């Protein structure tokens, strides 16, 4: 699709006569000093751009010619100058210390670097290792740029596994549980390169019960799609997403354990702040967010809640800004919109109500169905499962998910039937379970599974090379599937 490139996102190297020009980090050329976009670019000209923000609804993606490539601790900015520290680090003394660490590195010319918050307190060797990784990545991008058809993709950010390890892993994490051997190999290679002395254990989840069901994560995922989210003391959040804004209402509900209304409001609002900041990150919402808190009369309580909002939002990678609580008890905040929200990713407008309601997409319903089916087939009493689904979900299951269904039947030696019904809603699936004798099983009475306690620690068989972590995941998974069927 067509992208949008604003004149303020055009690097000075594209200005007339600016072929070798660099720009200082944090000192972007002001709008008034920039030539018109017609003087910078011409029709048919080749230009390297990066997607800043995914396209949303009818809007195309937002582009920039200021390239930035994140590593574990550093962000590399080609054709920029000097070094900087993440804006999220607000303490001046700490910023100076982090800048000194950057100055000790032999940084290449023609590149700017920003030290991320994850780089705080890291040793010189760890930063040098991250720098070497980024430079290898840039050489690969340059090699692709010089050959091939145009337009073309030069670099795509790592997949979910690599992004999670890069952005969320810390030395405080003791164990990482993964249910795929190809993914374990890639994770081990990444850890070997990024932090070879790490004490974090990689555990191989080798059970047939889906990983998210076994560890209670599936229930948390369902909450990210729910309109109402419960709070620990009995209150709740009601979250409504519209085109213009996100509205979050805080209700005290059954939370009446404290002696007076002020204390109840204060305690409930503290719980609400934690859950609000968590939910906007999980749902990946952007734009204007309005939070209707429970009214508090105490100024000190209001200030504490405001400060708590700012503290919790520091954990968020997306930029955000909050305003003080208004006289009506409303907290206004903005959050950087980087891509489509979770709701728009998983749900489509309902054709029956022209978008006033929501209907889960067939591929998302199929993914949920596969996980629920695997959990049900894992039960010892269950010998056969019959699914009743809408025609669109049936099409998804019997085409794109046919191989997964076959693998479940083959692995567990159980039978699955898919029955189509025109009467069932598009986002609903009905499960019927039967034992070996063909008798019905009441799925509601089956016990809740408990997380396993004896998972084996997984280790990479041999030491990888520096480049070994970059593997063809599709090829590895295909080979793993072939090995499994051959073994049977």
Q: Are residues 39 and 66 in the same domain?
A: yes
Name the domain count of the chain.
4
399, 363 in Cβ contact below 8 A?
Answer: no
Q: Are residues 88 and 114 in the same domain?
A: yes
115, 83 in Cβ contact below 8 A?
Answer: yes
Residue 470's pLDDT is 54
Lowest model confidence (mean pLDDT) among 247-256, 268-277, 418-427: 247-256
The set of residues, in sequence order, having a beta carbon less than 8 Å from that of 66 and lying 6+ positions away, is 9, 11, 50, 77, 80
Residue 30 lies in a domain: yes
Place of tokens 């979250």: 239
365, 374 in Cβ contact below 8 A?
Answer: no
Q: Are residues 258 and 324 in the same domain?
A: yes
Distance CA 112, CA 99 (A): 13
Q: Are residues 24 and 132 in the same domain?
A: yes
The set of residues, in sequence order, having a beta carbon less than 8 Å from that of 39 and lying 6+ positions away, is 15, 16
Residue 432 lies in a domain: yes
Tell me the CATH number at 412: 3.40.1260.20
Distance CA 140, CA 143 (A): 5
Residue 270's pLDDT is 95
Last residue of a domain, one of 285, 311, 342: 342
Q: Are residues 46 and 132 in the same domain?
A: yes
- Residue 255 pLDDT exceeds 70: no
Lowest model confidence (mean pLDDT) among 120-129, 309-318, 396-405: 120-129
Residue 153's pLDDT is 87
Lowest model confidence (mean pLDDT) among 21-35, 275-289, 373-387, 472-486: 472-486
CA distances to 177, 257, 463 from 459, in Å = 12, 49, 10
Residue 64 lies in a domain: yes
* Model-wide pTM > 0.75: no
Q: What is the mean pLDDT of residues 109-124?
A: 83
Q: Are residues 13 and 141 in the same domain?
A: yes
Residue 314's pLDDT is 83
Q: What is the mean pLDDT of residues 418-442?
A: 92
Lowest model confidence (mean pLDDT) among 107-111, 167-171, 291-295: 167-171
Residue 50 lies in a domain: yes
Distance CA 434, CA 439 (A): 5
Strand partners, 23: 80
Residue 334 lies in a domain: yes
Q: What is the mean pLDDT of residues 185-192?
A: 87
Residue 87 lies in a domain: yes
pLDDT tens-digit series, residues 28-62 = 788 888 888 888 888 888 889 999 888 777 778 89
Residue 78 lies in a domain: yes
Q: What is the mean pLDDT of residues 305-327?
A: 90
Q: Are residues 34 and 96 in the same domain?
A: yes
DSSP letter, residue 177: E
Q: Name the average pLDDT for the chain.
A: 85
Q: Are residues 91 and 110 in the same domain?
A: yes
Residue 155 lies in a domain: no
Q: Are residues 47 and 173 in the same domain?
A: no
Q: Are residues 26 and 136 in the same domain?
A: yes
pLDDT tens-digit series, residues 408-424 = 999 999 999 999 999 88
Domain housing 479:
160-206+455-487
Q: Are residues 322 and 404 in the same domain?
A: no
Last residue of a domain, one of 308, 342, 376: 342
Q: Are residues 79 and 132 in the same domain?
A: yes
- Residue 177 pLDDT exceeds 90: yes
Residue 295's pLDDT is 92
């Amino acid at each position: 699709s067509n992208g949008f490139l604003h004149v303020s996102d055009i690097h000075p190297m594209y200005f007339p006569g600016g072929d070798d020009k660099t720009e200082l980090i944090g000192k972007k050329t002001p709008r008034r000093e920039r030539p018109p976009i017609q003087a910078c670019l011409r029709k048919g000209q080749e230009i390297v751009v990066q997607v800043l923000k995914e396209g949303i609804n009818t809007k195309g993606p937002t582009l920039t010619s200021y390239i930035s490539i994140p590593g574990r601790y550093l962000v590399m900015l080609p054709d920029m100058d000097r070094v900087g520290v993440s804006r999220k680090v607000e303490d001046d003394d700490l910023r100076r210390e982090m800048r000194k660490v950057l100055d000790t590195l032999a940084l290449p010319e023609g590149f700017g670097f920003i030290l991320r918050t994850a780089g705080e307190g890291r040793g010189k060797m760890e930063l040098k290792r991250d720098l070497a990784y980024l430079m290898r990545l840039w050489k690969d991008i340059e090699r692709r740029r010089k050959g091939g058809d145009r337009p073309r993709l030069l670099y795509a950010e790592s997949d979910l596994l690599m992004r999670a390890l890069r952005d969320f892993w810390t030395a405080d994490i003791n164990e990482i549980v993964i249910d795929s051997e190809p993914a374990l190999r890639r994770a081990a290679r990444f850890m070997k390169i990024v932090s070879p002395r790490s004490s974090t254990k990689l555990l191989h989840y080798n059970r047939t019960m889906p990983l998210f069901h076994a560890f209670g994560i599936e229930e948390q995922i369902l909450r990210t799609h729910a309109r109402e989210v419960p709070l620990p003391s009995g209150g709740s959040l009601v979250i409504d997403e519209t085109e213009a804004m996100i509205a979050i209402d805080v209700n005290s509900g059954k939370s009446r354990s404290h002696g007076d209304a002020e204390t109840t409001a204060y305690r409930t609002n503290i719980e609400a702040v934690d859950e609000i900041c968590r939910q906007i990150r999980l749902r990946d919402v952007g734009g204007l967010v309005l939070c209707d808190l429970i009214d508090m009369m105490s100024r000190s309580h209001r200030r504490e809640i405001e400060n708590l909002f700012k503290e919790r939002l520091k954990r968020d990678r997306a930029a955000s800004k909050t305003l003080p609580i208004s006289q009506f008890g409303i907290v206004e905040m903005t959050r950087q919109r980087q891509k489509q929200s979770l709701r728009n990713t998983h749900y489509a407008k309902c054709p029956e109500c022209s978008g006033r309601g929501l209907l889960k997409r067939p591929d998302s319903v199929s993914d949920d169905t596969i996980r629920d089916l695997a959990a049900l087939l894992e039960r010892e009493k269950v010998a056969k499962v019959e699914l009743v689904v809408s025609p669109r979900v049936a099409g998804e299951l019997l085409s794109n998910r046919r191989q997964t269904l076959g693998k479940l039947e083959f692995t567990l030696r159980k039978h699955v039937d898919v029955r189509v019904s025109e009467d069932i809603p598009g986002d609903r699936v009905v499960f019927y379970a039967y034992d070996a004798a063909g008798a019905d099983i009441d799925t509601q009475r089956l016990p809740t599974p408990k997380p396993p306690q004896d998972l084996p620690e997984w280790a990479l068989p041999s030491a990888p090379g520096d480049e070994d972590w970059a593997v063809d995941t599709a090829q590895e998974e295909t080979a793993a599937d072939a090995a499994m069927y051959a073994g049977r």
